[in-house]
């Protein structure tokens, strides 16, 4: 068997581009432990670190024809890993913020009669906004959300395209979300 350990990173990567799996394996041997250690240091989760490094190497092989090394291979690997880690951290922050917001909402349960009064008021406000939608949009939205018809059923009933139905429903949702905010609107429609 050929000894790939004597080749430079750049020579190995050129072989990887040509489809040489042994060169790819050599790059993996050289960098996987270092990258895993770096990922674990940043993420503090062994499985997550392992997954992100595996994903990096899978992408290295799958996208080998598209990768343009601007500097050296190690620089590319660390830059790519850093970007993947930053994406994971950003996603976790957004997820944590959503969870905290939802928990805050759940923790601030009003007394039952107060809740029922607020619920009725919110329902009336949303109904009022639905009634103020443009006529066709309102009709399509009500068929979709209240009568629970599919886009196809609405298009057949009103003799319009499914795309028009979809656009009208999406536009109505945008208008209502902008007026009430996503969380209140979702709570109303998920009850």
At 149, give phi and psi (nearest 5°).
Answer: -85, 150
Mean pLDDT of 152-160: 90
Q: Residue 26 and residue 48: Cα distance in Å, rounded?
A: 23
* pLDDT band at residue 56 under the 50/70/90 scheme: very high
Q: What is the pLDDT of residues 65-116, one digit of tens each?
A: 888 887 789 889 999 999 998 888 888 787 777 777 766 766 665 555 666 6
> Looking at 77, 101, 125, which one is the last position of a domain?
101
Q: Is 81 exposed, middle or buried (0-12, 13-18, 19+ CB in 10 A)?
A: buried
CA distance 63 to 42: 25
C-alpha–C-alpha distance, residues 145 and 161, integer Å: 18
pTM tops 0.75: no
Determine contact, residues 69/87, Cβ cutoff 8 Å: no
Q: Are residues 117 and 92 in the same domain?
A: no
Could you list the residue range(s) of the whole structural domain that residue 145 is in? 109-190
pLDDT per residue as tens digits for the range 35-47: 999 999 988 889 9
CATH number of the domain within which 85 lies: 1.10.1740.10
Judged by phi (left if over 0) then psi (alpha if -120 to 50, else beta), residue 19 lies in left
- Are 28 and 95 contained in the same domain? yes
Select from 101, 129, 164 the last residue of a domain: 101
Question: What one-character-per-residue DSSP string does 97-139 give?
Answer: HHHHHHHHHHHTPPPHHHHHHHHHHHHHHHHHHHHTS-HHHHH
Weakest mean pLDDT among 8-22, 151-165, 177-191: 177-191
End position of a domain, from candidates 101, 117, 144: 101
Are residues 84 and 56 located together in one domain of the fold?
Answer: yes
Whole-number pLDDT of residue 112 = 55
Residues 117 and 145 in one domain: yes
**Count of structural domains, the chain:** 2
Residues 94, 13: one domain?
Answer: yes
CA distance 109 to 101: 13
Are residue 95 and residue 8 in the same domain, yes or no?
A: yes
Residues 96 and 30 in one domain: yes
**133 and 175 in contact (C-beta within 8 Å)?**
yes
């Amino acid at each position: 068997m050929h000894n790939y350990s004597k080749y430079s990173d750049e020579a190995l990567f050129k072989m990887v581009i040509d489809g040489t799996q042994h060169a790819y394996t050599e790059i993996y041997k050289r960098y996987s432990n270092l990258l895993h250690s770096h990922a674990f240091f940043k993420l503090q989760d062994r499985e997550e670190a392992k997954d992100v490094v595996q994903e990096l190497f899978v992408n290295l092989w799958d996208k080998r024809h598209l990768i343009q090394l601007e500097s050296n291979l190690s620089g590319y690997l660390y830059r790519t890993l850093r970007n993947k880690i930053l994406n994971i951290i950003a996603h976790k922050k957004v997820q944590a913020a959503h969870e905290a917001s939802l928990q805050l909402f759940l923790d601030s349960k009003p007394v039952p009669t107060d809740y029922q009064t607020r619920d009725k008021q919110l329902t009336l406000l949303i109904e009022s906004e639905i009634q103020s939608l443009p006529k066709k949009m309102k009709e399509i939205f009500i068929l979709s959300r209240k009568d629970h018809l599919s886009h196809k059923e609405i298009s057949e009933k009103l003799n319009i395209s499914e795309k028009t139905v979809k656009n009208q429903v999406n536009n109505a949702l945008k208008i209502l979300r902008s007026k009430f905010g996503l969380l209140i609107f979702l709570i109303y429609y998920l009850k």
